[in-house]
Structure 1
Amino acid sequence: MEQAVLDQGAGKFGKGAYSLKLLGGFEQSVFEYAGEDGSRFVLKFLDAAKYQKADIIRELTWMAHLAGHGLRIAESVTSREGLLIEEVAHEGQLFYVVAFTIAPGQPLTDLESDASVIERWGRGLGRMHALGKHDSAALLHQMGFAHWNSHPIYTDEFPDAAGEKVHARWKEYLKELSSLPQNPQGYGIVHNDLHHRNFYIHDGDIVFFDFGDVGYHWYAYDIAISIYHAVQTVPGPRKAEFASRFCDALLTGYLQEHTLSNDWIKRIPFFIDFRNVYSFVYFSKYVNWHELDGRTRNYLAGMKADIEAGTPVVHLPIS
């Protein structure tokens, strides 16, 4: 990202001398701001060619709604002009800039040892889903959150880099998804990306952040996302045993906050495998393969082979 863009964005929210440290994000657009006066917060730059301002407003409103009902969320930071969203332009390109407090705590690096942490993770996810049904969330529903298939990954041309066999699998999954009921019991507002890198552990509690993908989807898919990404941290021989324990702990916490019928729970393995295909298609569409290192290319080649062969991500004893 151009330094001129970073400087403009930082100037909108801070003052005096400062430094920016890249934190990451899929587009390498998330930075930590450290001011000479001791101020510290997270800056996120969003390309206006890809993001709508209305979507960002919905994201921030949803986060405030969750925080207002007891969930620990990385809070929004207002700019020097008192705005939650600022705009910066450079050489004909427009960016939206938002800022958040730095979430206290540390990332979860050990997903295997402490089932109580996984239960709290599940409770947080269940609480989010339950709050989407809360009477006070009616206005949020009226704000027009996007539905599951409105993302460009569904509406644009399928990326050639993914290959014809993956495309065939992709169409099978989309057909199955399109046939699923969208009733309030199984479908609603979800985080849509709640893996272990999108929250911190602080004093035994969980602080959630990165709600940029919030929208309508199936609750079972939101659960599957957490399981899918957790499984990726464990070597192959231990995956099945770990996945079973992880899923039990996550659902134990989840069901304390939100009811989900066994019919939907039984669909979690389907959603896990769909997440795998989605992830591969996403990489194929948005990543320049020539810029990837050999390890990543080998990993993606393995993903592709498993998808083409119809190999499940992991076997879960859900029935």
Structure 2
Amino acid sequence: MIAEAAVARYGLTASVELLNVSENETYLVRAADSTRVLRVHRLGYHPPGAIPSELAWLDALRAEAGVRTPRVIPAADGSRVVTVADPAGGPDRDCVLFEFLPGREPSEDNLRADFEPLGALTARMHQHARGWARPPGFVRFHWDAPAAFGSSDGPGRWGDWRASPGVGSAELAVLERLESTLRDRLKRFGRSPERYGLIHADLRLANLLASPDGVSVIDFDDCGFGWYLYDLGAALSFVEHLPEVPEVIDAWVRGYRSVAPLSAEDEAEIWTFVLFRRLLLTAWIGSHSTVDIAAELGAGYTAGSCALAEQYLSTHT
């Protein structure tokens, strides 16, 4: 088992329990005096240097911006990323051990209250990203339109939404109009340093841990360069359709502006980024049919994407 081989590199005598499999494999590592979390990275997702770059930003956010992020636990030889041979003979895997942070995922029943402090937290992260001197060799991918929807070089990072369940001729027509409109609006919106930079890119509720001491941010595996407003779109993942979302967005904007400016022009494009993320997730569901949540959502998510697209296109075309 790769996880057990990785734990041995840390000099730990511990039990290993699988927590989650979606993109990476995540394990709870219990030793006599500590509990930690091991991430076994998927194959072929990150270029060389990308994982150490992620960990460098985690450290900097905690030390310089007061954002609660998990500390990286080095291996016995000091390595922050360990490469482990697969005992079953498969390819080597990169692994990282993190401290275990207390807290629970915020509830969907309390979105209005939770999104105002989330907006403020996101603004602190963005302010840090704008001013941070990234270390030499820093490399992370982009979450731009070609990465989302594909280009002449190939499909998007999460696949092609056209291959998702429930995409028939009517759905194809609606979602092609949506993609075209999103591409046009994002091009006009531009990639100035105030709008586009280093982002978490997956600030959904599952990656937040609320506790009496505050909110911790975990799982920076998708962090990269993108529009700052994409972090709001990602925060609304899987709840975009709820009737209270306009009020939830208002709360996020209030929180954000309590820390950093957000122009009226930026605010006007918020739903562009909500739909941008929604179409990305539609593609993700199509390319991850073996993941439980993707199988559960299936064609219903595509139908919901079309309904949201129609509403968006009625005001943003």
The 8 Å contact of residues 67 and 73 in structure 1, kept in 2 or not, is answered as yes
| Deviations 1:157-210, CA, capped at 9 Å, x for gaps | 354623471773564134543443100221111110001111111225111111
Q: State the alpha-carbon separation in 2 of the partners of residues 73 and 128 from structure 1.
A: 11
Counterpart of 1:143 (choices 131, 138, 142) is 138
Tell whether the 8 Å contact from 1:73 to 1:208 is kept in structure 2 after alignment: yes
Structure 2 counterpart of 1:56 = 51
Aligned with 1:112 (options 110, 113, 116): 110
Give 1:93 deviation, angstroms: 0.5
Structure 1: how far apart are the matches of 2:93 and 2:5? Answer: 10
Please state how far the C-alpha of 1:30 moved relative to its aligned partner. Answer: 0.6
Counterpart residue number, 1:235: none
- Counterpart for residue 13 of structure 1: 10
Q: Deviations over 1:124-151 (max 9, x none)?
A: 11100010112xx123597243222374
1:254 aligns with 2:256: yes
- CA offsets, 1:22-78, max 9 Å, x none? 22142350111012x232100000134333341101100011110112111111111
1:220 aligns with 2:229: yes
CA contact under 8 A between 1:243 and 1:314: conserved in structure 2? no
| Counterpart check, 1:68 vs 2:63 | yes
Unaligned runs of 5+ in 2: none
Which whole-Å CA distance do the structure 2 matches of 1:250 and 1:127 have between them? 13
Aligned CA-pair RMSD: 3.0
Q: Is 1:191 aligned to residue 186 of structure 2?
A: no
Please, which moves more after superposition, 196-205 or 262-271? 196-205
Distance between the aligned counterparts of 2:50 and 2:149, measured in 1? Answer: 17
- Cα pair distance change 1:75/1:314, threshold 3 Å: farther
8 A contact 2:49–2:137 mirrored in 1: no
The amino acid across from 1:72 in the alignment is R
| TM-aligned CA deviation for residue 306 of structure 1 | 3.8
Q: How does 1:207-286 map to 2 (within 5 A)?
A: 207-231=216-240, 239-240=242-243, 242-286=244-288
Q: Which residue of 2 aligns with 1:30?
A: 26
Task: Note if contact 1:153-1:282 (Cα within 8 Å) is conserved in structure 2.
Answer: no
- Relative to structure 2, which stretch is displaced further, 199-208 or 300-309? 300-309
Assess if the C-alpha contact under 8 Å between 1:77 and 1:84 holds in 2: yes
Count of residues in Structure 1 that have an aligned counterpart in Structure 2:
298
Whether the 8 Å CA contact 2:25–2:42 is kept in 1: the answer is: no
Number of the residue aligned with 1:168: 176
What's the TM-score, normalizing by structure 1?
0.82
Give the Cα–Cα distance (whole angstroms) in 1 for the partners of residues 232 and 99 of structure 2: 26
Structure 1: give runs of 5+ residues left out of the alignment.
233-238
Shift of 1:218: 0.9
Would you say the 8 A contact 1:49–1:94 is kept in 2? no
Shift of 1:244: 2.6
- Distance between the aligned counterparts of 1:298 and 1:85, measured in 2? 33
Counterpart Cα distance in 2 of 1:110 and 1:147: 29
Residue type at the aligned position of 2:227: W
Provide closer, same or farther for how the CA distance between residues 40 and 313 of structure 1 changes in structure 2, counting only shifts above 3 A: farther
TM-fit CA distance, 1:11: 1.2
Residue 219 of structure 2 aligns to a residue whose secondary structure is coil
Report the identity percentage: 21
Q: Which residue of 2 aligns with 1:236?
A: none
